[in-house]
Amino acid sequence: MKSLIFLMILSIVLSSPVLAQEEKIKLKEGPGKKLVEANCTICHSLDYILINSPFLDKKGWEASVNKMIQVMGAPINKDDVPQIIEYLTTYYGKKESSQ
Protein backbone atom coordinates (compact mmCIF):
# COMPACT_ATOMS: atom_id res chain seq x y z
CA MET A 1 0.00 0.00 0.00
CA LYS A 2 2.81 2.38 0.90
CA SER A 3 4.54 1.66 -2.40
CA LEU A 4 1.34 2.46 -4.30
CA ILE A 5 1.01 5.80 -2.52
CA PHE A 6 4.69 6.49 -3.16
CA LEU A 7 4.27 5.75 -6.88
CA MET A 8 1.22 8.03 -7.10
CA ILE A 9 3.05 10.90 -5.40
CA LEU A 10 6.13 10.32 -7.54
CA SER A 11 4.10 10.40 -10.75
CA ILE A 12 2.43 13.67 -9.71
CA VAL A 13 5.77 15.27 -8.84
CA LEU A 14 7.41 14.15 -12.06
CA SER A 15 4.54 15.27 -14.25
CA SER A 16 4.23 18.73 -12.68
CA PRO A 17 7.04 20.34 -14.70
CA VAL A 18 5.54 19.02 -17.92
CA LEU A 19 2.13 20.40 -17.09
CA ALA A 20 3.61 23.73 -16.06
CA GLN A 21 5.25 24.13 -19.48
CA GLU A 22 2.03 23.73 -21.45
CA GLU A 23 0.51 26.95 -22.67
CA LYS A 24 -3.06 27.41 -23.73
CA ILE A 25 -3.30 28.10 -27.45
CA LYS A 26 -4.95 31.43 -28.17
CA LEU A 27 -6.36 31.80 -31.64
CA LYS A 28 -6.29 35.11 -33.50
CA GLU A 29 -9.33 37.31 -33.07
CA GLY A 30 -11.70 37.38 -36.00
CA PRO A 31 -15.09 36.33 -37.32
CA GLY A 32 -15.51 32.58 -36.87
CA LYS A 33 -13.04 32.21 -34.00
CA LYS A 34 -15.67 31.09 -31.52
CA LEU A 35 -17.03 28.52 -33.99
CA VAL A 36 -13.55 27.10 -34.51
CA GLU A 37 -12.88 26.92 -30.77
CA ALA A 38 -16.26 25.33 -30.05
CA ASN A 39 -16.16 22.76 -32.84
CA CYS A 40 -12.50 21.82 -33.18
CA THR A 41 -11.77 21.33 -29.50
CA ILE A 42 -14.45 18.66 -29.24
CA CYS A 43 -11.95 16.22 -30.75
CA HIS A 44 -8.47 17.74 -30.54
CA SER A 45 -6.42 20.62 -29.21
CA LEU A 46 -6.05 23.88 -31.09
CA ASP A 47 -2.36 23.28 -31.72
CA TYR A 48 -3.40 21.17 -34.72
CA ILE A 49 -4.42 24.44 -36.38
CA LEU A 50 -1.00 25.97 -35.79
CA ILE A 51 0.80 22.82 -36.91
CA ASN A 52 -1.14 22.67 -40.18
CA SER A 53 -1.21 26.39 -40.97
CA PRO A 54 2.03 26.43 -43.01
CA PHE A 55 0.67 23.73 -45.31
CA LEU A 56 -3.06 24.34 -45.82
CA ASP A 57 -4.54 26.90 -48.19
CA LYS A 58 -8.31 27.31 -48.65
CA LYS A 59 -8.66 23.98 -50.50
CA GLY A 60 -6.59 22.28 -47.82
CA TRP A 61 -8.69 23.67 -44.99
CA GLU A 62 -11.88 22.70 -46.84
CA ALA A 63 -10.59 19.16 -47.23
CA SER A 64 -9.48 19.02 -43.61
CA VAL A 65 -12.78 20.28 -42.19
CA ASN A 66 -14.80 17.99 -44.46
CA LYS A 67 -12.61 15.02 -43.44
CA MET A 68 -13.26 15.82 -39.80
CA ILE A 69 -17.00 15.73 -40.46
CA GLN A 70 -17.29 12.86 -42.93
CA VAL A 71 -14.51 10.53 -41.79
CA MET A 72 -13.96 11.39 -38.14
CA GLY A 73 -17.62 12.13 -37.33
CA ALA A 74 -17.18 15.66 -36.02
CA PRO A 75 -20.63 17.01 -35.11
CA ILE A 76 -20.25 20.33 -36.96
CA ASN A 77 -23.40 22.07 -38.15
CA LYS A 78 -23.24 22.31 -41.96
CA ASP A 79 -24.25 26.00 -41.77
CA ASP A 80 -21.10 26.70 -39.71
CA VAL A 81 -18.67 25.03 -42.13
CA PRO A 82 -18.16 28.04 -44.48
CA GLN A 83 -17.40 30.36 -41.54
CA ILE A 84 -14.97 27.86 -40.02
CA ILE A 85 -13.16 27.41 -43.33
CA GLU A 86 -13.05 31.17 -43.94
CA TYR A 87 -11.60 31.80 -40.48
CA LEU A 88 -8.96 29.08 -40.86
CA THR A 89 -8.02 30.28 -44.35
CA THR A 90 -7.86 33.96 -43.39
CA TYR A 91 -5.89 33.62 -40.17
CA TYR A 92 -4.10 30.29 -40.56
CA GLY A 93 -3.96 29.70 -44.31
CA LYS A 94 -0.76 28.92 -46.16
CA LYS A 95 0.93 32.14 -47.19
CA GLU A 96 1.29 32.59 -50.94
CA SER A 97 4.85 32.85 -52.19
CA SER A 98 5.66 36.09 -54.02
CA GLN A 99 7.45 34.49 -56.96
Alpha carbons 8 and 16: distance in angstroms, whole number: 12
Alpha carbons 59 and 77: distance in angstroms, whole number: 19
Q: Is-contact 99 68, C-beta < 8 A?
A: no
Note the pLDDT of residue 20.
47
pLDDT one-digit tens code per residue, 5-20: 655 675 676 655 444 4
Note the pLDDT of residue 4.
61
DSSP type of residue 41: T
Evaluate if residue 21 carries a pLDDT over 70: no
Note the pLDDT of residue 99.
52
Note the pLDDT of residue 71.
96
pLDDT one-digit tens code per residue, 54-87: 999 999 999 999 999 999 999 999 999 999 999 9
The structural domains of the chain, ordered by start, are 25-99 (1.10.760.10)
Kindly state the average pLDDT of the residues 45-57. 95
